[in-house]
Amino acid sequence: MLRAGIRAYRRWLSPLLGPRCRFHPTCSAYALEAVERHGALRGGGLALRRIGRCHPFHPGGNDPVPDGGR
């Protein structure tokens, strides 16, 4: 369900908003990968933290999804 929501955003909303993400991979790609690798709870938390950092005052850059484990 969460992955479907991310895919829907990427397909229909993202093209209307244009390129705004300051990171690589984009926030939606990061969210999708985080949920696939870490599950809905931890992956969703990682995605929310990433989205919270994606603003004009953050320099952005390369920010891959962390590996599993603690």
Q: What are 13-47's pLDDT values in tens digits?
A: 999 998 889 999 999 999 999 999 999 999 999 99
Split at pLDDT 50, 70, 90, the class of 70 is: low
Q: Quick one: which of 53, 32, 54 has its CA closest to 44? A: 32
Listed ranges 1-5, 9-13, 61-65; the one with the highest mean pLDDT:
61-65
pTM confidence score = 0.88
Residue 8 falls inside a structural domain = yes
Helices (H) then strands (E): counts for the chain: 3, 2
The DSSP element (H or E) to which 2 belongs, if any, is helix 2-8
Residue 64 falls inside a structural domain = no
What span, in angstroms and rounded, lies between the C-alpha atoms of 20 and 38? 25
Are 22 and 54 in contact by the 8 Å Cβ rule? The answer is yes
Domain count, the chain: 1
Residue 20 falls inside a structural domain = yes
54 lies in which domain range? 2-58
Residue 69 falls inside a structural domain = no
Residue 11 falls inside a structural domain = yes
Q: Which residues contact 14 (CB under 8 A, 6 or more apart)?
A: 28
